[in-house]
Amino acid sequence: MSQWVRLCSIREAPEEGKAMQVTTANGVDVCLARLDGELRALDNWCPHRRGPLGEGWVEGGAIVCPWHAWAFDLKTGVAHPPERASVEALALKTEGDDLLVDLA
Ligand code: FES
């Protein structure tokens, strides 16, 4: 079942090739990035040592963790080899000027 929560306004979303950390009204941290014109959302916390992925950078279709540079595919959340890990990829939708994320 879906649980859509407002993330931010469309105007606040990152530019192409950038990422940011956004906290929902109910306190969930999300890594929001724009890649190839599409907004993508992942769980913000790196499974390695809980680095903040939203403070990382976009490279090669992935978000790179700012702490030890593990990279997670922005579409799937799966880590690039050799790491074996993943973060949850979250669905997004727009509603008027708002960007909503599915936290279900
Ligand atoms: S905490 Fe993200 S790579 Fe170590």
- Checking if the pLDDT of 89 tops 90, the result is yes
Query: What is the arithmetic mean of pLDDT over 71-91?
Result: 97
Rounded Cα distance, 84 and 104, in Å: 24
Predicted local confidence at residue 16, as pLDDT: 97
Indicate the CATH number for domain 12-96.
2.102.10.10
Contact 102, 3 (CB under 8 A): yes
Give the start-to-end residue ranges of the domains of the chain. 12-96
Nearest to 54 by CA among 13, 2, 95: 13
Predicted local confidence at residue 104, as pLDDT: 87
Is 47 close to ligand 1, i.e. is its CB under 6 Å away? no
Predicted local confidence at residue 23, as pLDDT: 97
Is 45 close to ligand 1, i.e. is its CB under 6 Å away? no
Residues in the chain: 104
Query: What is the arithmetic mean of pLDDT over 3-23?
Result: 97
Query: What is the arithmetic mean of pLDDT over 23-47?
Result: 96
Is 79 close to ligand 1, i.e. is its CB under 6 Å away? no
